[in-house]
Structure 1
Amino acid sequence: MVSFQDRGLNYGDGFFTTARINDASIEHWPLHKARLIECAARLAFPTLDVMAIENASLQAIGDMQSGILKIVITRGSGGRGYGLPEAPSIQVLITVLPAVAHYKTWQEQGVSLAISSIKLAHQPVLAGLKTLNRLEQVLIKNQMNTLNCDDVVVLDINDNVIESSAANLFAIKNEQIFSPQLNNCGIAGVYLKSLCAKLAIEFKQISVEELLAMDAVFMCNSLMGVVPVAAITDTQFDITRSKALLASQFAKENV
């Protein structure tokens, strides 16, 4: 049960991570754990008992072979208005859900993207974190219902490319891999961080024009893995070539 006074409900005072369940284990758990620890530190939460969270998560998963694990952490109830409680009662909410069926099709066939007219505001203090403040994404998803696309490219208020509605973006140009800078907004995804250990990814400001001129573009997150982009508005990408370019990058880094 969650109190109606919970600060996560009232103020979005909390954070979360969403992980893929694979063979009854949490894929990329060390990175998800690092995300929870970073969010707690940057949002002035008490130190988390990550071992207890991990044990509770594994107990919730049981022998489930495939699915989704969502861990939501709030500061609990207390405090006066926005003021923080002196002794927060941290709430940990663990949910286990079925896997998303269409991601495999996306991986094989690619996706088409539109460009959202709803832009992300700048807040460097929260940049990169997966907080419970997701109203921008709610509005972006709602706008997607009026567009003929699988997802959207989301820009910031300066028209820099940031991410998709629920995934990170990266692209290849002239055998170099680029991904948008997330210094002012956006989420630093766990899956993208896992790729940074395998690929030489340069983070930089990317305009829409630069994105459209890339040789290949991809979306990624912990649940979908890597998904090639087949089209952004009227610009088409050959996903067979995109997959080959990415495979060559992996091969080059593992030589």
Structure 2
Amino acid sequence: MFLINGREQETLAASDRATQFGDGCFTTAQIVGGSVSLLNAHLERLQNACERLLIPFSEWDLLQREMVQLAVGHERGVLKVIISRGSGGRGYSAANCTAATRLLSVSAWPAHYDRWRREGITLALSPVRLGRNPYLAGLKHLNRLEQVLIRSHLEQTNADEALVLDSEGWVTECCAANLFWRIGTRVYTPRLDQAGVNGIMRQFCIRMLAQSPFEVVEVNAREEELMQAEEMVVCNALMPVVPVRACGDRLLSSRTLFDFLAPRCEHPN
């Protein structure tokens, strides 16, 4: 179902800047037992994105109530929340935008994630690279054409997920997940100050690792450095954590990091 500005409907104005320019942001949350996992973190993500994109949205209490209400009755599902700048005439100027648009939807949880957690996944290097832009880096904005192309190329392979580099060749993320890898007790994850999405589950994993025997380090790394890993895991708010069994020709069998993170990320709060 879809809820647009509080009304159950599936029609968005053709003039809305989400459709005209991808002018907005979104977040995707897991519903478990009728509740939104990491609800506050998802709201903070949207608030931060609106501030950086200069979208004057202020109905945060109302949005929170709608998110909570939509989750009720769903044992497991996916809640997606989009905030666009709204409608405001032709052209790039936002001067005539009077009210932001909030769009919420609920859909089925991707059941294949259970199999991925049991069996592990394979990664294939994507030929599509992410553009570097420090002003937008980390945000989950509505301009997802890079990810659409990454997914399109991925679907031409036998791999489960894509290993994605930025335009300078730095390891950045996967198509729809963040990446961690382990060497000994040190855990690495790409820096996301130039490209990529700073995912909710990535942030949660970093907090968990900061309270563990592992040392977590955010780095700029090349593909060759990644291939020295003893273990890799990917994560997003829905998975929430999945082990990697192969990255290209590199086979991985260790699950030390996965075994630490998985139970902590299964029902985060």
TM bin, normalised by shorter chain, reads: over 0.9
Map 1:1-255 onto structure 2 (within 5 A): 1-200=11-210, 201-238=216-253, 241-242=254-255, 244-247=256-259
SS state at 1:148 partner: coil
Q: What TM-score do the two structures reach when normalised by structure 2?
A: 0.89
Paired-residue identity, %: 35
- Measure how far apart 1:49 and its partner are: 1.6
Mapped to 2, the partners of 1:208 and 1:70 lie a distance apart of 32
Q: 2-side partners of 1:250 and 1:3: how far apart? A: 41
Q: Which amino acid aligns with 1:61?
A: A
What per-residue deviation string (whole Å, max 9, x for no partner) do you get for residues 39-81 of structure 1?
0000001143221111112222221111000001111110551
Runs of 4+ with deviation above 4 angstroms? 248-251
Equivalents in 2 of 1:199, 1:87: separation in Å?
A: 43
Q: Secondary structure at the match of 2:117?
A: helix
Structure 1 residues 248, 7: CA separation in 2 closer, same or farther (over 3 Å shift)?
Answer: closer
**Considering only aligned residues, what root-mean-square deviation do their CA atoms show, in Å?**
1.6
| 1:142 alignment partner, SS class | helix
Confirm or deny: 8 A CA contact 1:171 1:218 kept in the other structure. Answer: yes
Q: 1:197 is paired with a residue of what secondary structure?
A: helix
CA contact (8 A) 1:21 1:27 kept: yes
Provide the aligned length of Structure 1 versus Structure 2: 248
Does the CA-based 8 Å contact 1:72-1:94 persist in structure 2? Answer: yes
SS in 2 for 1:196: helix
Q: Residue by residue, what CA displacement relative to the aligned partner does 1:18-56 show, whole Å, maximum 9, x if unpaired?
A: 000011110011110110000000000114322111111
What secondary structure does 1:76 align onto? coil
Could you tell me the TM-score, scaled by structure 1's length? 0.93
Pick closer, same or farther for the CA change 1:248–1:65 going to 2, 3 Å.
closer
Q: Which moved more, 1:60-69 or 1:225-234?
A: 60-69
The 3-state SS of whatever aligns with 2:64 is helix
Q: Is the 8 A contact 2:25 2:140 kept in 1?
A: yes
